[in-house]
A and B are shown apart, each in its own frame.
Chain A
């Protein structure tokens, strides 16, 4: 009689035992495991007491933070006309609403961004208690728009809607947004009053510089990367020379050149304003770095892919456009987010070479203004904290993106 096969019993997979330790044990293991470690801990404690104690007692007792609220509008938008401020708000609503919608439709990756931005907004609403109810109301509305977008996206995802069409539509919307926002801010002839860029300033200007430059430098960088790997010697050498020269000089020199000398090299009728000169410099500079990132992605494509595409009868142009670039660009997205972060920080260099009133320049001007009595520490700490918030957020998103794209896994 055939024995009945014993069913394979899947042994219950137990999670690794979690060891719960008391606070004393934790202290002993993490801070006082040996005499040397104990000494280190004590030194660190003394350091903390000295530095943190000094900083905290200054920040809570002596610092005159009161300089910030009355200057907040200046710091955020520069001299953007009061009557036109609604355009900035509209731009923010557009971007955050779209973000919420994307988060609802794509899930995981974007939801993180929504949660972070949402809590940031809540914090702002709480902090701006003193600023005025109008701003508070607008901020709350912003939060509502984002959450509303999130809910709508969620409904679409779980409903019967044609999700693919929605995703495609959203992607093209994202591509359109920078242009729309720029038009919104600068004005459209006979529709929106034009606001000259000399009135843009503060964080608004900083963001405009960074976003427009990165968007423009991306295609240029891809072209340079392709040029560097081209089999045509003239194009290859031109790309190599461009990339290496730009990467070998400091950004300030490029910025200085654009700010001071660009008008000399253009016909006498053309006087591009300082914002455009600075964007030119940032674009030309960043493109060289993006080219190197993209080249890394291009090198990671196995040659068999190209050969297979050619064997299928694709022309070199089609091979590049349809086979090589999509794979290469996906692999280098995180590196390019890193590039964007450093560009965002580097926009502060306009202080040295141009008369633009960016976030840092405005805070320096407030420090110099005798009305406020030179609050150098307060202003610079505030500026650093704002920069830190945005870059830390972007770095966090870049790590999430890296994971979601599975770079290095596929």
Chain B
């Protein structure tokens, strides 16, 4: 026994020693590598200063759209404009891509031959071509080829489409909104009460139902009533008018924004459609038939039996699609939409602070990814509770 005590064999054969030695060696190698890289950097750029003070100095440039800003604004303000532009595309894009993806996914498994064929062609074409090519296509082959301002395409509802973008009527609140506001507040309150009451009622009877519809219905009812009773229409629309060489008033969406949004939505929706299809197919047919045999209505079957199980399959991969959409929004730089990445690169070119800006860019995208996955994980846990 004594021979097996430590010290009886060479120390480099002791697993504990080897483990620690390997890790130490690895750490030293990584540290040396980083030291070497940083040493080269200092030597090459002849710069020792590292800091973020440049963010406070005047940027000296402006970007074409986004939060109001002017020429003398500091770098951080311009960067903020870029971040908000990115967020705008990402949030609207996620909502629209989910809708389009849902429609295309359901259409692909439709019993209607023509509809399912159209959906298949859409999905297979879009998924197999690069997003960047699609973005360029939407921008330079679709939006920039629209007619000139004077020959704008006029759509019903005072919507104008031309090669400077899309012009929509802009909603604004009138005096009547002050009355309406109270109806909305009451609607939220009564809606909440109705939701809770219905939920408690259903839980006591142990019956399935749609408490959310009750609450939402109460809210919508009150909102509509208030809109009608208000002395003046609470919301009015400012319609754009052609004056001189351009439209005045209304909501302007630039062709860059429209191209980025269309590209991201159409591309991501094709991937979401496949996930939706797989999710619905994953729910066995027997489940649906059993639910119908138990006397549930079609809507109840969908809401209480099929969707909860399908969503469990759908949500995790859709989360990564949302993350992809967020990351892919950086391709907006290619068609000069002033997003986070584009503005950051301009700041790099103006200030020469590559390392600092790269850290900021990566930090921004990392926190964006982290926030999205936190939210989707929370949602994922919630629908799991519904199911079990």
Binding site for B on A (CB under 8 A): 30-31, 33, 37, 40-41, 44-45, 47-48, 231-235, 238, 245, 248-253, 256-257, 260-261, 263-268, 341, 345-346, 348-349, 351-352, 360, 364, 367, 376-377, 380-381, 383-384, 387-388, 391-392, 395
When the two chains form their complex, are residues A249 and B136 in contact, meaning their CB atoms are under 8 A apart? no
Complex: chain A residue closest to B20, CB-CB: A232
When the two chains form their complex, are residues B130 and A250 in contact, meaning their CB atoms are under 8 A apart? no
Bound CA span A250–B137, Å: 21
Complex: chain A residue closest to B15, CB-CB: A316
When the two chains form their complex, are residues B331 and A352 in contact, meaning their CB atoms are under 8 A apart? yes
From A31, A380, A383, give the contact of B114 (CB < 8 A): A31
Q: Which residues of A contact B111 (CB under 8 A)?
A: 30, 33, 37
From A48, A234, A250, A383, give the contact of B327 (CB < 8 A): A250
Q: Which residues of B contact A351 (CB under 8 A)?
A: 132, 334
> Assuming the A-B contacts A31-B112, A249-B365, A252-B341, are A257 and B129 also in contact, with contact meaning beta carbons closer than 8 angstroms in the complex?
no
Q: Is B154 an interface residue (CB 8 A)?
A: no
From B37, B133, B365, B369, give the contact of A253 (CB < 8 A): B365
When the two chains form their complex, are residues A233 and B23 in contact, meaning their CB atoms are under 8 A apart? yes
When the two chains form their complex, are residues A377 and B129 in contact, meaning their CB atoms are under 8 A apart? no
When the two chains form their complex, are residues A345 and B23 in contact, meaning their CB atoms are under 8 A apart? no
Q: A261-B355, A388-B129 are in contact. List 9 more A-B contacts (CB 8 A).
A: A30-B112, A41-B112, A252-B341, A253-B358, A253-B361, A256-B345, A376-B144, A381-B137, A384-B137
Q: Which residues of A contact B354 (CB under 8 A)?
A: 260-261, 264
Q: Is B113 an interface residue (CB 8 A)?
A: yes
From B19, B30, B129, give the contact of A391 (CB < 8 A): B129
Q: Which residues of B contact A45 (CB under 8 A)?
A: 114
Bound CA span A48–B38, Å: 59
Mark out the residues of chain B between 2 and 56 whose CB falls within 8 Å of any chain A CB in the assembled complex.
19, 22-23, 26-27, 30, 37-38, 40-41, 43-45
* Binary A-proximity of B114-133 (CB < 8 A = 1, otherwise 0): 11001000001100111111
* Binary A-proximity of B92-123 (CB < 8 A = 1, otherwise 0): 00000000000000000011111100100000
* Binary A-proximity of B42-77 (CB < 8 A = 1, otherwise 0): 011100000000000000000000000000000000
From A44, A260, A367, give the contact of B140 (CB < 8 A): A367
From A48, A252, A388, give the contact of B333 (CB < 8 A): A252
When the two chains form their complex, are residues B128 and A395 in contact, meaning their CB atoms are under 8 A apart? yes
Bound CA span A260–B349, Å: 11
Q: Is B300 an interface residue (CB 8 A)?
A: no
When A and B form their complex, which 10 residue pairs have the shortest distance between CB atoms, in order from nearest?
A30-B113, A234-B23, A250-B327, A345-B130, A250-B330, A391-B128, A377-B141, A248-B369, A376-B140, A348-B130
When the two chains form their complex, are residues A348 and B133 in contact, meaning their CB atoms are under 8 A apart? yes
When the two chains form their complex, are residues B115 and A248 in contact, meaning their CB atoms are under 8 A apart? no
When the two chains form their complex, are residues B37 and A265 in contact, meaning their CB atoms are under 8 A apart? yes
Q: Is B229 an interface residue (CB 8 A)?
A: no
Bound CA span A381–B142, Å: 12
| 6 A-B contacts (beta carbon < 8 Å) | A37-B112, A48-B118, A231-B19, A256-B358, A264-B45, A264-B354
When the two chains form their complex, are residues A249 and B112 in contact, meaning their CB atoms are under 8 A apart? no
Q: Is B152 an interface residue (CB 8 A)?
A: no
When the two chains form their complex, are residues B19 and A232 in contact, meaning their CB atoms are under 8 A apart? yes
Q: Which residues of A contact B38 (CB under 8 A)?
A: 265
When the two chains form their complex, are residues A384 and B133 in contact, meaning their CB atoms are under 8 A apart? yes
When the two chains form their complex, are residues B115 and A383 in contact, meaning their CB atoms are under 8 A apart? no
Q: Which residues of B contact A40 (CB under 8 A)?
A: 110, 112, 114-115
Q: Which residues of B contact A267 (CB under 8 A)?
A: 40, 43
Best-buried of A265, A364, A367, A395 by chain B (most CB within 10 Å): A265
**What is the CB-to-nearest-CB distance from B146 to chain A, in angstroms, rounded to a whole number?**
13
> Assuming the A-B contacts A30-B113, A264-B354, A351-B132, are A249 and B331 also in contact, with contact meaning beta carbons closer than 8 angstroms in the complex?
no
Q: Which residues of A contact B110 (CB under 8 A)?
A: 40
When the two chains form their complex, are residues B130 and A346 in contact, meaning their CB atoms are under 8 A apart? yes
Bound CA span A265–B330, Å: 25
When the two chains form their complex, are residues A249 and B26 in contact, meaning their CB atoms are under 8 A apart? no
Q: Is B145 an interface residue (CB 8 A)?
A: yes
Best-buried of A41, A245, A264, A346 by chain B (most CB within 10 Å): A264
When the two chains form their complex, are residues B140 and A380 in contact, meaning their CB atoms are under 8 A apart? yes
Bound CA span A57–B113, Å: 25
Q: Is B134 an interface residue (CB 8 A)?
A: yes
When the two chains form their complex, are residues B136 and A364 in contact, meaning their CB atoms are under 8 A apart? yes
Q: Is B366 an interface residue (CB 8 A)?
A: yes
Bound CA span A341–B124, Å: 14
Q: Is B328 an interface residue (CB 8 A)?
A: yes
When the two chains form their complex, are residues B132 and A348 in contact, meaning their CB atoms are under 8 A apart? yes
Q: Is B370 an interface residue (CB 8 A)?
A: yes
**What is the CB-to-nearest-CB distance from A311 to chain B, in angstroms, rounded to a whole number?**
17
When the two chains form their complex, are residues A352 and B128 in contact, meaning their CB atoms are under 8 A apart? no
Q: Which residues of B contact A381 (CB under 8 A)?
A: 137, 141
Q: Which residues of B contact A256 (CB under 8 A)?
A: 345, 358
Best-buried of B38, B130, B131, B369 by chain A (most CB within 10 Å): B130
> Assuming the A-B contacts A31-B114, A37-B111, A245-B362, are A384 and B40 also in contact, with contact meaning beta carbons closer than 8 angstroms in the complex?
no
Q: Which residues of A contact B334 (CB under 8 A)?
A: 351-352
Bound CA span A266–B348, Å: 20
Q: Which residues of A contact B45 (CB under 8 A)?
A: 264
> Assuming the A-B contacts A249-B362, A250-B328, A264-B44, are A238 and B26 also in contact, with contact meaning beta carbons closer than 8 angstroms in the complex?
yes
When the two chains form their complex, are residues A349 and B132 in contact, meaning their CB atoms are under 8 A apart? yes
> Assuming the A-B contacts A234-B26, A380-B137, are A392 and B130 also in contact, with contact meaning beta carbons closer than 8 angstroms in the complex?
no
Q: Which residues of A contact B355 (CB under 8 A)?
A: 261
Bound CA span A168–B292, Å: 58
**What is the CB-to-nearest-CB distance from A6 to chain B, in angstroms, rounded to a whole number?**
39
When the two chains form their complex, are residues B330 and A252 in contact, meaning their CB atoms are under 8 A apart? yes
Bound CA span A39–B361, Å: 50
**What is the CB-to-nearest-CB distance from B386 to chain A, in angstroms, rounded to a whole number?**
28
Q: Which residues of B contact A31 (CB under 8 A)?
A: 112-114
Complex: chain A residue closest to B27, CB-CB: A234
When the two chains form their complex, are residues B330 and A345 in contact, meaning their CB atoms are under 8 A apart? no
Q: Which residues of A contact B328 (CB under 8 A)?
A: 250
**What is the CB-to-nearest-CB distance from A57 to chain B, in angstroms, rounded to a whole number?**
16
Complex: chain B residue closest to A236, CB-CB: B23
